[in-house]
């Protein structure tokens, strides 16, 4: 019973700063997003419910990155306090070695790793797709916000546009007049009862575009060459406006694919080698990032136990430096895996192997 109480005590001391760190880092992460969200809310008149949805999606997107550093910080804080208050000495004097003390921490690390693995394989790619789709919906409002009812608008894709009424949130218009002179030889005048702006994505490439869908109208055209006049009535007429991808990167993004989709693509025998390496690297990246909290137990206990009194800022510094180095090494490992220099499964073990080595050395130094 005494040992069980000690296990629960150790677990509580690690769990509290771990949860607090998760909330803290999530707040910091969202703080950097607030300016963009405020712009969408104020400038583009986006509904608050849509922004709340985007906020939740961003939190899910953050967790795979935030959980490892929060767990490392929790272990560092707990064992730094144990060491400063001589509780480690008391535990060891009662016959508990450092490995025995670390059992509840390892147990918690396996739970965190399992949850992180589930996030990385399923929820994280879902959040990537959901955030993109939500931004596409908000993007509709950006173009609608440039249109004012009862006013001629000239900056809308080089068109002259007039509408009597406009719902900027829904992107809907009533009694639309449009003069299209993009082809100087064949200018068009379009009149419609209603219209709607729809943001679209072009398949996997996601080149992006905007469709103006008009209903119950007519197209008028004057031919200057033969002085003729043509009129075409329509029930539905669509104009597509291309929006270039400013990132310059086209094609699918592996981080947006769920694990089943990655497996389905890898099962194709005609898959190009570079895409196969890219998908394998992404799959192994998710796995290695998920299991790193288990390795952080050694590092957290090792570095936390040798801390001096009042070293809370030192604990934060160790956590930040460790994660910064880890992500930097991981970026290099991803490059090696995608380039084919090192097999993807082996390349993605490099950052975890370094954490294991550093953690083992620190843990051994703390074992006296």
Q: How far apart are CA 14 and CA 301, in angstroms?
A: 11
DSSP 160-199: EEEEEEEETTTTEEEEEEEEE-SSTTS-EEEEEEEEEEEE
Residue 247 resides in a domain? no
Q: Are residues 237 and 268 in the same domain?
A: no
Q: Are residues 33 and 132 in the same domain?
A: yes
Q: Are residues 274 and 362 in the same domain?
A: yes
pLDDT for residue 306: 66
Residue 31 resides in a domain? yes
Q: What is the pTM of this model?
A: 0.73
pLDDT for residue 140: 59
Q: Are residues 113 and 196 in the same domain?
A: no
**Residue 330 CA from chain centroid, whole number:** 17
Q: Are residues 162 and 70 in the same domain?
A: no
HEC assignment per residue over 124-156 = HHHHHHHHHHHHHHHHHHHHHCCCCCCCCEEEE
242, 268, 296: which is the final residue of a domain?
242
In our burial notation (b when 16+ CB lie closer than 10 A, e otherwise), range 154-187 reads: eebeebebbbeebebeebbbeebebebeeeeeee
Q: Are residues 109 and 194 in the same domain?
A: no
Q: Are residues 9 and 109 in the same domain?
A: yes
State the CB neighbour count (10 A cutoff) for residue 115.
16
Number of domains in the chain: 2
Condensed to tens digits (0 to 9), the pLDDT of residues 281-302 reads 999 999 999 999 999 999 999 8
Which residues of the chain have a pLDDT value below 50? 1, 203-207, 245-251, 308-311
Element of type H or E holding 90: helix 87-93
Q: Are residues 208 and 233 in the same domain?
A: yes
Element of type H or E holding 24: helix 2-42
Q: How far apart are CA 212 and CA 121, in angstroms?
A: 37
pLDDT for residue 253: 75
- E strand map for 184-272: 188-200, 209-223, 228-242
pLDDT for residue 357: 96
Q: In what order do the strands lie in the sheet containing 172-180?
A: 153-156, 159-167, 172-180, 188-200, 209-223, 228-242
Find residue 160's DSSP bridge partners.
179
Residue 131 resides in a domain? yes
**Residue 266 CA from chain centroid, whole number:** 23
Q: Are residues 60 and 118 in the same domain?
A: yes
- Quickly count helices (H) and strands (E) in the chain: 11, 6
pLDDT for residue 274: 92
Q: Are residues 62 and 133 in the same domain?
A: yes
Nearest to 83 by CA among 319, 315, 323: 315
Nearest to 67 by CA among 30, 101, 24: 24
What range does the domain containing 84 cover? 2-141+253-366
Q: Are residues 102 and 223 in the same domain?
A: no
242, 270, 305: which is the final residue of a domain?
242
184, 219, 242: which is the final residue of a domain?
242
Residue 248 resides in a domain? no
Find residue 165's DSSP bridge partners.
174
Residue 137 resides in a domain? yes
Q: Which residues contact 326 (CB under 8 A, 6 or more apart)?
A: 68, 292, 351, 355
Q: Are residues 18 and 131 in the same domain?
A: yes
């Amino acid at each position: 019973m005494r040992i069980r109480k000690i296990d629960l005590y150790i677990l509580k001391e690690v769990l509290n700063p771990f949860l607090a760190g998760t909330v803290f880092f999530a707040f910091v992460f969202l703080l950097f997003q607030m300016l963009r969200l405020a712009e969408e809310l104020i400038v583009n008149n986006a509904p608050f419910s849509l922004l709340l949805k985007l906020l939740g999606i961003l939190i899910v997107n953050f967790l795979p990155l935030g959980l490892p550093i929060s767990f490392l910080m929790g272990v560092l804080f707990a064992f730094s306090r144990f060491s400063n208050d001589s509780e480690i000495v008391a535990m060891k004097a009662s016959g508990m070695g450092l490995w025995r003390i670390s059992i509840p921490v390892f147990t918690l690390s396996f739970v965190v790793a399992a949850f992180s693995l589930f996030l990385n394989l399923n929820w994280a790619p879902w959040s990537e797709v959901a955030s993109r789709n939500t931004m596409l919906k908000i993007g509709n409002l950006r173009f609608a916000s440039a249109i004012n009812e009862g006013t001629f608008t000239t900056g809308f894709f080089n068109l002259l546009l007039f509408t009597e009424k406009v719902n900027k949130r829904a992107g809907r218009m009533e009694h639309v007049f449009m003069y299209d002179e993009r082809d100087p030889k064949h200018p068009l005048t379009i009149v419609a009862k209603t219209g709607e702006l729809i943001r679209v994505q072009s398949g996997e490439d996601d080149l992006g575009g905007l469709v103006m869908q008009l209903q119950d109208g007519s197209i008028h055209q004057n031919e200057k060459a033969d002085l003729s006049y043509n009129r075409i009535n329509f029930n539905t007429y669509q104009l597509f406006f291309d929006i270039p991808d400013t990132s310059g990167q086209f094609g699918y993004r592996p981080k947006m694919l769920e694990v089943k989709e990655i497996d389905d693509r890898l099962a194709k025998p005609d898959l190009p080698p570079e895409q196969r390496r890219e998908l394998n690297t992404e799959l192994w990246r998710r796995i290695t990032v998920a299991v790193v909290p288990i390795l952080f137990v050694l590092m957290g206990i090792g570095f936390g136990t040798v801390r001096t009194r009042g070293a809370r800022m030192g604990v934060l510094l160790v956590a930040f430096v460790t994660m910064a180095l880890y992500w930097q090494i991981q970026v290099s490992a991803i490059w090696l895996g995608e380039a084919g220099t090192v097999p993807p499964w082996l390349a993605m073990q490099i950052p975890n192997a370094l954490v294991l080595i550093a953690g083992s050395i620190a843990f051994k130094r703390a074992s006296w």
